[in-house]
Structure formats: structure tokens, C-alpha cells
């Protein structure tokens, strides 16, 4: 990120995002077919939270685009079997609905491929239903494979940076599904962004901008499972459906990458036998959306167990436990997450320009490629969210003794870092 973009972005991030109605009336989804600077992507799509599609030239040199695909552009079952054979992979059944998702089971990769071949031979049908290999942590299971590179546009990725640091999880996935497999209506984990690249095959995406989901809930407040279901038109079940806008429909071809913005609900169909790489990610541009999501999740839990509020001393802690089990994160972990992101940028800025830092090579490469202005932007954003946390009544009520650094000390540390390294980046615009 250059000096000028840093200034623009720091100013832009302070004003509310443009309403999506304006986006609707003025935009088709941009198709990016030429070189695009990171700063342009940042200012035009990331910050405003608008979708776009990158052409296949952005995945042309990925190894999986050659190795996993036949000359005819179909999944190369033989090569895939050689690589992954007995590996256990998660497989969903698209024909079975369980709590607004499809139940998954683990099976050997070769069993899934055997099923897929039979499914094709049988005219894309099977008594077993339509199985979809999804959310497979292939990059984590096979770190030496290096079959694709995350494009620089998506490299400011706090979510995977944090989970990599804990060494327990990540949000980098491979999806493989026959024609007809699909993913029900949802928004992504913690309201993160996603990017998704088709290695082969085609997908149809139906996207709704944030806020529209309120019209797509039934009388009990449950989100529809299938946005094309006929019962949406039944006013007794979905009273607000007629207020919803038409979804944005995007057909994604082989090799193309779609950028799915934060909090946009979507439903996805494989129009052909399709393999894709999908990452969930978030950063300084949508961390406010994640923070809003966490507050909404906590409010929902609080409403649910409101009747016990005055009878339990540990009611607030209890709400956090429930929130963590339902949403995967609580306020304490959110603060720990912000600390790791801040610490990495602090040591990066303090080590600049000599560049000696002791975090993993790919992280140091990503921070160096994005540069000191970006690290400063990130620190400003962490500081802003810490200020919000410190003012939050629910956060104040929690026991902070287990945090390795108190949020107010972290905030102070960030301010000092930004001050002492200001030679590397201009001051934050007032
Ligand atoms: O490709 C799919 O089936 C779903 C992908 C998705 O939901 C995502 O990348 O966010
Ligand atoms: Fe998604």
C-alpha cells in the first residue's frame, strides 16, 4: 500500500459505507481482466464491501489448474487419486437437511471419487443422494503440495494468521462436487469475506447484500434454507419476502475467482462437476462487521437465557460460554485475536527496515509485500476496535485476568508503536 492510498483508506474507513441500494442502482458486478493494483482493489471492493470477479488469468500459473484437470477441463480423477488416495475427507449429503445445513461424514478420498464416477455414469444421480466434498483443509493436510498461491488481493488475512498462530485450525478449504451439488443459503463464519476460485467446472452464485436477510426469515426468525423454495412466497410463513430485492446472480467459470464481501448471504450451485479453492478471511476493512456480528450473537444468547439473569452470579460468563459454543468465539478470544494481529504488526514495524522478525516466513512475506503503511492501517483498525471493546458494557463485566495483556495496555502499546515508527508511515489523518 502506498502513502497516498494509506491516507485515502484511513479517511474512507471513518465514514459509513455507501448503502447497498446505491450499489444496486449503479453497479453491475465488475469483472477484472487486467492488472489491478492492490490499492485499487482495496479502495474499490474491500473497503466498500462490494463483490467482484477476477478472470482466469489470475489463476493461470496455479499447479492444480493443470494437475487436477483433464485436457477436456474435467476433474482428473486418476491424478487426484494418486495424490490423496486414503486421506479422510469431509463429505456432505446435499439431499439431507439438518439445522439449515447438510450433515457431513468423514470418508476416504478414494471412496468419494468412486462415488463421483458412478454418479456421472448414472446420469448424475445416485441412490446415495448428491454427495459434496466440502470444507476440506487440504492445504493444512498437505502443506508441501503448494498447488495454488493466495493472490495478493486476499493476503491481508487476520483470520488465518490468528488460527495459524494457534496451530489448531484454518479457514482454507477445497470443495469438490458433482453437477447438481449445492450449498444452502448462509453468510460466512464471523461474517468474514470469502474468495473462491474454480479449478475446473462452473458455479452459480445468488448473493444478497447485508440487511436483506431480515426479509428472508420465517415467522420464528429462522433464515430460509433454500432461497429458491416455493414456501418463501407463502406470507403466513415468510411475511417479509416481498420486501427483499432480487439476488445478484453470478456465473463463475473455470479459473475465475469470485470475491464475496462480508455479511453478504449467498447460495451456491455447481453447474458442472466442479473443484474449487475457498478461503474465509477478514482484516482491518471488515473487522468492524465481525465486531457487530459478535455483539448481535451475544444479544441473541442473552435474550435466550434472560429469565436466569437475576438468579445466577455467573450469568455474563455463562452467556460467553454459550456464545463460544454456538459461534466459535467469545469476547475473551476476540481480544486475544486482536492482540496477536497487533503484536505481529508491531514487531514488523519495529523491525523495519532491517526486517528481522521471528514469525513464520509466509507471514513476514505477506507483511513485507503489503508494506509498512498497511501495517500502520491495521494497527489503527485494531486500536479502533479495542476502543469499542473498552466501552462495551458486556466486555467490562467479564473477568479479564486470563488475558495475557489488558486491552487498555495493548491500546497504549499500539499508540506508542504508531508514534515511534511514524517515519515509515505518515500520521493518521484527522
Ligand atoms: O462453493 C460452494 O459450494 C460454497 C462456497 C461458499 O459458500 C463460500 O466460498 O463462501
Ligand atoms: Fe459461503
Phi, psi of 119 (to 5 degrees): -60, -45
CB atoms within 10 A of CB 79: 15
**In terms of C-beta density within 10 A (0-12 exposed, 13-18 middle, 19 or more buried), how is residue 428 classed?**
middle
Q: What is the pLDDT of residue 92?
A: 97
- What is the distance between the alpha carbons of residues 96 and 131, in angstroms, rounded to a whole number? 10
372 C-alpha to ligand 2 centroid (Å): 31
Question: What 3-state DSSP class applies to 349?
Answer: helix
Q: How far is the CA of 105 from the centre of ligand 2 (A)?
A: 19
In sequence order, what DSSP letters do the residues of 88-139 get, joined into one string? EEEEEETT--BTTB--EEEEEHHHHHHHHHHHHHTTS--TT--EEEEEE-HH
Residue to substitute in 200, 261, 278 for testing ligand 1 pocket (most ligand atoms within 8 angstroms of CB): 278
Cell 492492490 belongs to 38
Ligand 1, atom 1, lies closest to the CA of 268
Q: Which atom of ligand 1 is nearest to the CA of 269?
A: 3
Q: Which residue has the least CA distance to atom 3 on ligand 1?
A: 183
DSSP assignment string, 273-326: SEEEEEEEE--TTTHHHHHHHHHHHHHHHHHHTGGGTTT-TTHHHHHHHHHHHH
Ligand at minimal distance from the CA of 196 is: 1
For the CA of 266, the nearest atom of ligand 1? 7
- pLDDT 10s per residue in the chain (430 long)? 877 777 777 777 777 777 776 666 656 899 999 999 999 999 999 999 999 999 999 999 999 999 999 999 999 999 999 999 999 999 999 999 998 899 999 999 999 999 999 999 999 999 999 999 999 999 999 999 999 999 999 999 999 999 999 988 899 999 999 999 999 999 999 999 999 999 999 999 999 999 999 999 999 999 999 999 999 999 999 999 999 999 999 999 999 999 999 999 999 999 999 999 999 999 999 999 999 999 999 999 999 998 888 888 899 999 999 999 999 999 999 999 999 999 999 999 988 665 556 677 788 889 999 999 999 999 999 999 999 999 999 999 988 877 777 899 999 999 999 999 887 776 655 4
Atom from ligand 1 closest to the CA of residue 181: 3
Of 285, 381, 294, nearest to 17 (Cα)?
285
Cα 227–Cα 50–Cα 286 angle in degrees, nearest 5: 100
Ligand nearest to the CA of 130: 1
Task: Give yes or no for residue 102 CB within 6 A of ligand 1.
Answer: no
For ligand 1, say whether the CB of 268 is within 6 Å of any of its atoms: yes
Q: Is 135 exposed, middle or buried (0-12, 13-18, 19+ CB in 10 A)?
A: middle
308: burial class by Cβ within 10 Å (0-12, 13-18, 19+)? exposed
Record the cell numbers describing residue 426, joined without a space.
505518515
Q: State residue 430's pLDDT score.
A: 47
Q: What is the CA radius of gyration of the chain?
A: 22
Nearest CA to ligand 1 atom 8: 194
281 in contact with ligand 1, CB cutoff 6 A: no
- Judged by phi (left if over 0) then psi (alpha if -120 to 50, else beta), residue 89 lies in beta
CA distance 90 to 94: 13
Q: What is the largest CA-CA distance in the chain?
A: 67
Helix (H) or strand (E) holding 347: helix 331-351
The finding on whether 159 has its CB within 6 A of some atom of ligand 1 is no
Who surrounds ion ligand 2 at CB < 5 A?
A: 188
Q: What domains does the chain contain, in order, with CATH numbers?
A: 17-209+245-280 (2.60.120.650), 210-244 (no CATH), 287-420 (no CATH)
Neighbours of 369 (CB within 10 A): 13
Q: Is 196 in the pocket of ligand 1 (CB under 6 A)?
A: yes
Cell numbers that stand for 123 in this block: 446420469
Amino acid at each position: 500500500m502506498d502513502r497516498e492510498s494509506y491516507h485515502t483508506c484511513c479517511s474512507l474507513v471513518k465514514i459509513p459505507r455507501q448503502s447497498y441500494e446505491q450499489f444496486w442502482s449503479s453497479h453491475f458486478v465488475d469483472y477484472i481482466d487486467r492488472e489491478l493494483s492492490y490499492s485499487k482493489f482495496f479502495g474499490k471492493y474491500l473497503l466498500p464491501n462490494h463483490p467482484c470477479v477476477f478472470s482466469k488469468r489470475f489463476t493461470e500459473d496455479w499447479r492444480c489448474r493443470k494437475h487436477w484437470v483433464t485436457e477436456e477441463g474435467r476433474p482428473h480423477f486418476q491424478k487426484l487419486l494418486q495424490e490423496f488416495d486414503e486421506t479422510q475427507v469431509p463429505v456432505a449429503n446435499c439431499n439431507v437437511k439438518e439445522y439449515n445445513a447438510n450433515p457431513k461424514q468423514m470418508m476416504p478420498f478414494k471412496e468419494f471419487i468412486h462415488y463421483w464416477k458412478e454418479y456421472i455414469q448414472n446420469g448424475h444421480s445416485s441412490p446415495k443422494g448428491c454427495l459434496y466434498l466440502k470444507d476440506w483443509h487440504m492445504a493444512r493436510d498437505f502443506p508441501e503440495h503448494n498447488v495454488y498461491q493466495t493472490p495478493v488481493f486476499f493476503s491481508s488475512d487476520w483470520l488465518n494468521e490468528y488460527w495459524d498462530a494457534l496451530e489448531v485450525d484454518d479457514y482454507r478449504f477445497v470443495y469438490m462436487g458433482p453437477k447438481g451439488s449445492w450449498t444452502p443459503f448462509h453468510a460466512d463464519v464471523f461474517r468474514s469475506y470469502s474468495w473462491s476460485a474454480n479449478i475446473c467446472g462452473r458455479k452459480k452464485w445468488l448473493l444478497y447484500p447485508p440487511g436483506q436477510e431480515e426479509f428472508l426469515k420465517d415467522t420464528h426468525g429462522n433464515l430460509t434454507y433454500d432461497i429458491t423454495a416455493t414456501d418463501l412466497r407463502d406470507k403466513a410463513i415468510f411475511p417479509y419476502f416481498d420486501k427483499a430485492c432480487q439476488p445478484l446472480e453470478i456465473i463463475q467459470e473455470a479459473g475465475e475467482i469470485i470475491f464475496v464481501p462480508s455479511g453478504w448471504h449467498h447460495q451456491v450451485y455447481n453447474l458442472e462437476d466442479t473443484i474449487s479453492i475457498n478461503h474465509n478471511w477478514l482484516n482491518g476493512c471488515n473487522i468492524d462487521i465481525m465486531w457487530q456480528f459478535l455483539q448481535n450473537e451475544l444479544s441473541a444468547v442473552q435474550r435466550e437465557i434472560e429469565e436466569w439473569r437475576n438468579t445466577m452470579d455467573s450469568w455474563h460468563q455463562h452467556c460467553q460460554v454459550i456464545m463460544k459454543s454456538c459461534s466459535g468465539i467469545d469476547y475473551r478470544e476476540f481480544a486475544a485475536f486482536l492482540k496477536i494481529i497487533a503484536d505481529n504488526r508491531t514487531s514488523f514495524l519495529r523491525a523495519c527496515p532491517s526486517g528481522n522478525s521471528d514469525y513464520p516466513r509466509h507471514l513476514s512475506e505477506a507483511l513485507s509485500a503489503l508494506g509498512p503503511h498497511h501495517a500502520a492501517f491495521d494497527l489503527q483498525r485494531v486500536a479502533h476496535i479495542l476502543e469499542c471493546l473498552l466501552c462495551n458494557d458486556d466486555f467490562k463485566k467479564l473477568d479479564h485476568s486470563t488475558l495475557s495483556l489488558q486491552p487498555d495496555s495493548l491500546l497504549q502499546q499500539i499508540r506508542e508503536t504508531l508514534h515511534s515508527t511514524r517515519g515509515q508511515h505518515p500520521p493518521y489523518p484527522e
